């Protein structure tokens, strides 16, 4: 039996090795200058994230995008080493609990993108990318919780108090105190020129952070983890189509000659983003159970944070994904310069959905409507009348 196995390996391995060697010799197009310059941006983003952790959250999507580009060009080890180097240097010179969360979340998100690129189904690929990114954010919070040895609410309040001189925390503390705090009858708010104003703003903001993170920390992990995963996923689809690697599934010599060289192997997604749909089964397998669960928890009372988290995970974020794909479809209906403008508007809509909860909710409703009505079908039907 062993001899048979060895003989099979001897017949297969040389043939694969010869094919792989032949593909390695195929000439490909050179990498563009803009891409080479983009490699220099990543170190500055890591430096910014390590030096100013409170302001680093908005740059995480850009970092994961560049990390995936490194994976596609150089394989998985180099971007993983970049994340490890960022964590080691940042925690050594400027220890911050946010850096711990970012490091763990980025590593998980990178692994999720690399694995999602091996999936043949776009729904499976998007789910894998989102799952790993969300689990990474939650794991980072769990690491901080274990390291600090205190509840999340106490950690959040202590962090705000300890970092009161940080300009980001100071800005949000002042904004919350001036616009969000409601004092008891007979109490008056201090003015910026009054003595004790800064201490008052930090105190109220620390109380808010304690209450908010104590209940909604997993909600925020789901929200920002899904945003990072979405940025990396849509970018990976574009990169995979414009590059070709001898390690790709179903790679051919012609595809290698027509693209720039890459090393990280993927399974190129053939379905365009404009045609990615949420199946109607999503309505009764995710939306309906989540809505019923949310209503029951609201009726019982005391579980508003759990209801919001459940709804956000199974309804809002997947529906927002559906909206982005159908919005991409409508953008492709334009031609010439109008299409460029449509894609710019699409990018602005995506940013608005990530920043404003009201916009995200509105867009997710459109995503559910698309799942029910199939807006692409009716648009094509009207076009052909």
Q: In this predicted model, what pLDDT tens digit does every residue of 224-244 receive, in sequence order?
A: 999 999 999 999 999 998 888
Distance CA 226, CA 347 (A): 16
* Predicted confidence (pLDDT) at residue 384 exceeds the cutoff of 90: no
Count of Cβ atoms closer than 10 Å to residue 173 Cβ: 23
* pLDDT tens, position by position, 112-125: 999 999 998 999 99
Mean local confidence (pLDDT), 327-337: 93
Distance CA 109, CA 232 (A): 8
* Predicted confidence (pLDDT) at residue 194 exceeds the cutoff of 90: no
Distance CA 120, CA 221 (A): 27
Per-residue confidence at 13, pLDDT binned at 50, 70, 90? very low
Distance CA 68, CA 230 (A): 13
- 10 versus 256: the higher-pLDDT residue is 256
Mean local confidence (pLDDT), 341-345: 94
* pLDDT tens, position by position, 197-223: 899 999 999 999 999 999 999 999 999
Nearest 5°: phi and psi at 303?
-125, 35
Q: What is the pLDDT of residue 201?
A: 92
The HSE-up count of residue 174 (CA atoms within 13 Å, CB side) is 13
* Predicted confidence (pLDDT) at residue 350 exceeds the cutoff of 70: yes
* pLDDT tens, position by position, 150-180: 999 999 999 999 998 999 999 999 999 888 7
* Predicted confidence (pLDDT) at residue 10 exceeds the cutoff of 70: no
- 369 versus 251: the higher-pLDDT residue is 369
Q: What is the pLDDT of residue 249?
A: 81
Phi/psi class of residue 302: alpha, beta or left (left: φ > 0; alpha: ψ in -120 to 50)? left
Element (H, E) at 260: strand 260-262
Mean local confidence (pLDDT), 77-97: 94
Per-residue confidence at 11, pLDDT binned at 50, 70, 90? very low
pTM of the predicted protein model: 0.90
Q: What is the pLDDT of residue 14?
A: 46
What mean pLDDT is reported for the chain? Answer: 89
Distance CA 127, CA 122 (A): 8
Mean local confidence (pLDDT), 301-329: 93
Mean local confidence (pLDDT), 132-159: 95
Q: What is the pLDDT of residue 34?
A: 83
Q: What is the pLDDT of residue 83?
A: 96
* pLDDT tens, position by position, 28-75: 777 778 888 888 999 999 999 999 999 999 999 999 999 999 999 888
* Predicted confidence (pLDDT) at residue 20 exceeds the cutoff of 90: no
């Amino acid at each position: 039996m062993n001899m048979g196995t060895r003989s099979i390996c001897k017949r297969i391995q040389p043939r694969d090795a010869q094919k792989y060697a032949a593909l390695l010799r195929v000439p490909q197009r050179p990498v563009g200058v803009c891409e080479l310059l983009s490699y220099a941006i990543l170190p500055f983003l890591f430096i910014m994230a390590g030096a100013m952790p409170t302001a680093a959250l908005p740059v995480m999507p850009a970092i994961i995008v560049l990390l995936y580009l490194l994976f596609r060009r150089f394989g998985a080890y180099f971007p993983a080493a970049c994340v490890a180097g960022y964590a080691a240097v940042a925690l050594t010179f400027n220890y911050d609990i946010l850096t711990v969360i970012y490091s763990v979340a980025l590593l998980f998100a990178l692994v999720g993108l690399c694995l999602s690129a091996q999936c043949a189904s776009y729904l499976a690929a998007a789910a894998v990318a989102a799952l790993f990114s969300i689990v990474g954010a939650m794991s980072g919070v769990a690491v901080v919780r274990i390291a600090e040895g205190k509840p999340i609410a106490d950690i959040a309040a202590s962090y705000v108090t300890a970092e009161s001189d940080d300009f980001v925390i100071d800005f949000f503390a002042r904004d919350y105190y001036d616009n969000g705090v409601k004092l008891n009858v007979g109490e008056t708010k201090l003015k910026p020129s009054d003595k004790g104003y800064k201490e008052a703003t930090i105190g109220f903001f620390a109380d808010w952070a304690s209450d908010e993170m104590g209940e909604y920390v997993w909600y925020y992990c789901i929200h920002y983890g899904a945003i990072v995963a979405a940025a990396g996923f849509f970018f990976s689809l574009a990169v995979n189509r414009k590059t070709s690697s001898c390690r790709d599934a179903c790679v051919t010599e012609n595809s290698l000659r027509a693209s720039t060289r890459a090393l990280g192997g993927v399974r190129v997604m053939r379905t365009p983003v404009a045609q990615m749909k949420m199946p109607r089964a999503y309505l009764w397998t995710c939306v309906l159970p989540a809505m019923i669960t949310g209503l029951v928890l609201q009726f019982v009372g005391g579980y508003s944070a759990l209801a919001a988290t459940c709804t956000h995970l199974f309804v809002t974020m997947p529906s927002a994904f559906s909206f982005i794909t159908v919005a991409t479809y409508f953008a492709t209906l334009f031609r010439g310069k109008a299409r460029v403008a449509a894609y710019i508007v699409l990018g602005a809509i995506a940013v608005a959905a990530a920043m404003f909860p009201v916009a995200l909710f509105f867009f997710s409703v459109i995503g559910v409507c698309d799942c029910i009505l199939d807006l692409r079908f009716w648009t094509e039907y009207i076009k052909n009348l």
